[in-house]
Structure 1
Amino acid sequence: MATDIEIARAAKMKPITEIGARLGIPDESLEPYGRFKAKIAMDWINQQADKEDGKLILVTAINPTPAGEGKTTTSVGLNDGLNRIGKNSIVCLREPSLGPCFGVKGGAAGGGYAQVVPMEDINLHFTGDFHAITSAHNLLSAMIDNHIYWGNALEIDTRRITWRRVLDMNDRALRQIVNSLGGVSNGYPRETGFDITVASEIMAILCLATSIEDLEESIGNIIIGYRRDKTAVRARDINAHGAMTVLLKSAIQPNLVQTLENNPAFIHGGPFANIAHGCNSVTATKTALKLADYVVTEAGFGADLGAEKFFDIKCRKADLKPSAAVIVATVRALKMNGGVAKADLGKEDVEAVKKGVVNLLRHIENVKQFGVPAVVAINNFITDTEAEVQAIKEAVAAVGSEAFVCTHWANGSAGTEELAKRVVEIAESGQSQFAPLYPSDMPLFEKINTIATRIYRADEAIADSSVRNQLHQWEKDGFGHLPICMAKTQYSFTTDPTKLGAPSHHTVPVREVRLAAGAGFIVAICGDIMTMPGLPKVPSAEHIRLENGQIEGLF
């Protein structure tokens, strides 16, 4: 079979104006970036506010493994399947980050015959959103050091500057640095560091903003550090928020592209789910809900991270009410959870499936805690056997859910037709009784502990007195109502990435907390999670090249 990139190149794409016209978007409200991608004008989006919302479908997954799950592929496949059965559906995805694209993951635009296109553009610079976010973030960094250089009128304590710099690339050498070396003319040396752009608070703000005015206000609320008396200094105090918003004026507009089957797709924003909130933009999702009967959206990594943050942060802030959830799993990944080595995944092992399926069942239970009905999509591989698939179906049925074999990678929308029909039945039935996991007025550490015990099945979350005291101080400062964004390994319910399956009776150590006052959440950093990843021993970048003007090795 052809590779993903070969399939994408063979796609018969329609001009983006045709895709827009199908959604009722006039040409003058599209800002094309070439023939096959465009941004949607915010003034036209605002005119759709009185339209009735469609049904929101969340696609999430089991904990990721090297065996592969295919959450984005399934999101695209389900969207195509819904359109195939006569429903008007839009898929809303995040933009891929260059860091993992050139690191270990490769591209993130779906796969096989369930892709969004133009694939190379989407995986590389796309419409420049990430560059704009990086520039806005680093403009603030530059203005902080410039303010200090020219006399520090705000009396910022250089030991308590919390705003770092960002880069959309995995580069461990930049995690901790000393800046302003080289003499008096370069400023005051201080220790700082870089995060990856997808971990930037600007990324989170952009993805949670509802308008350009909301974006500017939220940017102004960013706390960049503290004075010696420990009072906060915000971005607006150094007059950075206006210029930062200017850099983001186009980035806030949703990006319109298409699937291989010429169905509309919004790809906008890209916060990681292990170190940020892991959902595409509120603007894209809410716009899609005004234009379609069904909106399929994806949350990053497993349901313990992506889905929890989708429900507790994005849905809470944007007043979204999902109608159904689809949890993606593969036979291969469940066998790996059952103890099978990657090299042996092609051999039938029903017992390993039965042992590893506990990971899937835990995620089903967790999604149902939010009042959202969930079904399972078994992303099919050719090595799957009937007995292994049956073991999953039986285990899922025993907890009151259903599992559907999906062959969208090989067959496109024809491979998700059965799943699409069931999702429509659930969404139209009104079964969903969505509610966040915890109330906004719960104390901050109790929120952390609630996530740890109810989602991760830990006995408790633990933290030093310095962490608890910081949370208490933020409550006194008026931030106690904010939701929690857990920064934790994506590979396990614990903070140990090697503990697969469904471990319980563990502890969740919170080593640091960060206030994202602009984005409006508290980040709890657990275990050894890094906000600037490193490249693997053999990064994907070693195999990406140009041949006769064509990109090879990207995916």
Structure 2
Amino acid sequence: MLSDIEIARTAKKRPITEVAAKLGLGPDDILPYGHDKAKITHAAVSRLADAPKGRLILVTSINPTPAGEGKTTTTVGLGDALNRIGKRTVICLREPSLGPNFGMKGGAAGGGYAQVIPMEDLNLHFTGDFHAITSAHNLLSAMIDNHIYWGNELGIDTRRITWRRVMDMNDRALRDMVVSLGGPSNGLPRETGFDISVASEVMAIFCLATSLADLQARIARIVIGYDRNKQPITAADLKADGAMTALLRDAFQPNLVQTIENNPVLVHGGPFANIAHGCNSVSATRTALALGEYTVTEAGFGADLGAEKFLDIKCRLADLAPEAVVIVATIRALKMNGGVEKTDLDREDVAALKRGGVNLARHISNMQKFGLPVVVAINHFVSDTDAEVETVRSLCADLGVEAIRCTHWADGGAGAEDLARAVVALADKGEADLHLLYGDNQPLWEKIQTISRKIYGASHADAPPAVLNQLKRWEEAGHGAMPICMAKTQYSFSADPAMLGAPSGHVIPVREVRLAAGAGFVVAICGDIMTMPGLPRRPTAERIGLTPEGELDGLF
């Protein structure tokens, strides 16, 4: 059996100019990066802003497990399938982070015969967008400490600086530190730390901004900390917004690549869904909607995190609304939710599947709460039995939802044609009626409680007085209408990653809140979740290298 990277290398890539031409884009509309990837120019994006929009399809999944779900693979397979049945479709994905690529995942371009290519470039540096975002973020960090060094005209209280540094790598040693040691010439020592770049507010702004002007305006609103009178200090106060936007100018143009079947894919931005809002850029999504009849996009991790944020944050702020939601599940993952060990997942176990099926059932119910029609994609593994497939179909039928067996990993778009036809049928019915989980004017703490109860099945959320007081201060400062971005483990509806299935009645502990004034939301950090992950005991980086011929090896 060929590995993902071997399959990707056998693909017959088309010149990126031909892929662009499929979408009606000419040579002047793209900036090629070699022969197989390009950026869509600012001028083309601007020209398409007022074009008629196609239909938006959201792909999400059950909670991730070590057994695998295949959300990106299914997104790619569905996009290829829609093109196969004659629907001009554009796929919209996030860019992979180097952190998980060298940590546990080892790549994030889909899998099997449902992949995005060039796979190696996509997973390693790509067109440099993440580096630009990291540089823009850290420029602001440098300007904060430089301002303090040269007299601190703004009166920044060094005890109340909230802006940290970032890098696109998992490195637990950088979570908390003291900077400016070594004497007066190095500045004033203070506590700070690093987050991973995908948790940066600059990344969130990058993905929510609608234009370069909006990008700079949002950057200008970033609150980096407070002065000695507890008044906010912004990036604009430090005169950093112009230079930061300049660093992001080229990166802000969406990236165009292709699937193995040579269908167009826009890959742009990449916030995580467990510690950020987990969606690709608004710019790419709107551009895709203007270029195709259908746009298939994904939201990170399970529907409780990625899909909730896609709807309550991205759709709210960007005036978007999907026509249908695809929830990806594997029988293996559902059996793991039912208590089966990873080593035993290849054995038929209908009883465990029924126990674990409660996880899928809650995700279905949650998406229906938003007024959206749902279809389930059973991402097929060879160990799946007919009895197990029928069990999932029966579970979904009881909830008024169709579950469709998909073989896109092995068969490419042809293996997801049934899913594509079901998605078109749902969109044609026009039954989608998106209503968000909470209103803009609800208090911030009430929004957190609403998500905890309605999506996570918790009895309530809990927080120390300092957190509640901080939320009240932000409301008084005019930030009360912002949506909430929950930072929480992706593995469970609870804040405990070991609590699988569909737990109820638990408590969501909110230990910290952060204001993302430029992005336009408030982050609630729950339980033990870290905004700078660490590498596992045996990171994928140990297996990655080059062959004697200079080709990449070990990345899937």
TM range (shorter): over 0.9
The aligned counterpart of 1:149 is 149
The aligned counterpart of 2:193 is 193
Q: Is the 8 A contact 2:49 2:286 kept in 1?
A: no
Q: Is the 8 A contact 2:493 2:502 kept in 1?
A: yes
* C-alpha displacement of 1:49: 2.4
Is the counterpart of residue 175 in structure 1 residue 175 in structure 2?
yes
Q: Distance in 2 between matches of 1:183 and 1:240?
A: 26
The aligned counterpart of 1:279 is 279
* SS across alignment from 2:257: strand
The aligned counterpart of 1:15 is 15
The aligned counterpart of 1:525 is 525
Q: Is the 8 A contact 2:196 2:531 kept in 1?
A: yes
* C-alpha displacement of 1:77: 0.1
Please give the per-residue CA displacement for 1:135-194, whole angstroms capped at 9, x wherever unaligned. 000000000000000000000000000000000000000000111111111101111000
Percentage of identical aligned residues: 68
Q: Distance in 1 between matches of 2:12 and 2:174?
A: 42
Q: Is the 8 A contact 2:116 2:257 kept in 1?
A: yes
Q: Distance in 2 between matches of 1:546 and 1:198?
A: 27
Matches within 5 A, 1:292-303: 292-303=292-303
The aligned counterpart of 1:437 is 437
The aligned counterpart of 2:447 is 447
Matches within 5 A, 1:44-59: 44-59=44-59
The aligned counterpart of 1:549 is 550
* C-alpha displacement of 1:50: 2.5
For residue 551 of structure 2, what is the amino acid of its counterpart? Q
For residue 301 of structure 2, what is the amino acid of its counterpart? F
* C-alpha displacement of 1:65: 0.1
For residue 174 of structure 1, what is the amino acid of its counterpart? L
* C-alpha displacement of 1:48: 1.6
Please give the per-residue CA displacement for 1:281-316, whole angstroms capped at 9, x wherever unaligned. 000000000010000000000000000000000000
Matches within 5 A, 1:242-253: 242-253=242-253
* C-alpha displacement of 1:228: 1.3
Q: Distance in 1 between matches of 2:242 and 2:113?
A: 43
Q: Distance in 1 between matches of 2:170 and 2:394?
A: 41
Matches within 5 A, 1:375-386: 375-386=375-386
* C-alpha displacement of 1:53: 0.7
The aligned counterpart of 2:93 is 93
Q: Distance in 2 between matches of 1:22 and 1:77?
A: 18
* SS across alignment from 1:102: helix
For residue 552 of structure 2, what is the amino acid of its counterpart? I
The aligned counterpart of 1:425 is 425
Matches within 5 A, 1:94-493: 94-493=94-493
Q: Distance in 1 between matches of 2:373 and 2:442?
A: 25
RMSD: 0.5
TM superposition score normalised by structure 1: 1.00
Matches within 5 A, 1:36-75: 36-75=36-75
Q: Distance in 2 between matches of 1:255 and 1:49?
A: 17
* SS across alignment from 1:237: coil
* C-alpha displacement of 1:492: 0.2
Q: Distance in 1 between matches of 2:336 and 2:100?
A: 22
Q: Is the 8 A contact 2:379 2:406 kept in 1?
A: yes
The aligned counterpart of 1:508 is 508
* SS across alignment from 1:99: helix
Q: Distance in 2 between matches of 1:512 and 1:257?
A: 39
Please give the per-residue CA displacement for 1:458-485, whole angstroms capped at 9, x wherever unaligned. 1111111111111111111000000000
For residue 342 of structure 1, what is the amino acid of its counterpart? K
Q: Distance in 2 between matches of 1:81 and 1:495?
A: 37
* C-alpha displacement of 1:435: 1.3
Q: Distance in 2 between matches of 1:450 and 1:486?
A: 12
Please give the per-residue CA displacement for 1:84-124, whole angstroms capped at 9, x wherever unaligned. 00000000000000000000111000000000000000000
TM superposition score normalised by structure 2: 0.99
Please give the per-residue CA displacement for 1:330-380, whole angstroms capped at 9, x wherever unaligned. 000000000000011111111110110000000000001101101100000
Q: Distance in 1 between matches of 2:353 and 2:460?
A: 29
Q: Distance in 1 between matches of 2:459 and 2:219?
A: 37
Aligned residue-pair number: 555
Q: Distance in 2 between matches of 1:44 and 1:115?
A: 26
* C-alpha displacement of 1:323: 0.2
* SS across alignment from 1:76: helix
Q: Distance in 2 between matches of 1:469 and 1:493?
A: 26
Q: Distance in 1 between matches of 2:186 and 2:63?
A: 46
* C-alpha displacement of 1:131: 0.2
Q: Distance in 1 between matches of 2:180 and 2:45?
A: 44
Structure 1: runs of 5+ lacking an equivalent:
none
* SS across alignment from 2:48: coil
* SS across alignment from 1:181: coil
Q: Is the 8 A contact 2:57 2:296 kept in 1?
A: yes
* SS across alignment from 1:478: helix
Q: Distance in 1 between matches of 2:511 and 2:132?
A: 31
Q: Distance in 2 between matches of 1:197 and 1:367?
A: 29
Q: Following superposition, which runs of at least 4 residues in structure 1 exceed 3 angstroms of deviation?
A: none
Q: Distance in 1 between matches of 2:160 and 2:43?
A: 40
* C-alpha displacement of 1:544: 0.2
* C-alpha displacement of 1:37: 0.3
Q: Distance in 2 between matches of 1:198 and 1:360?
A: 27
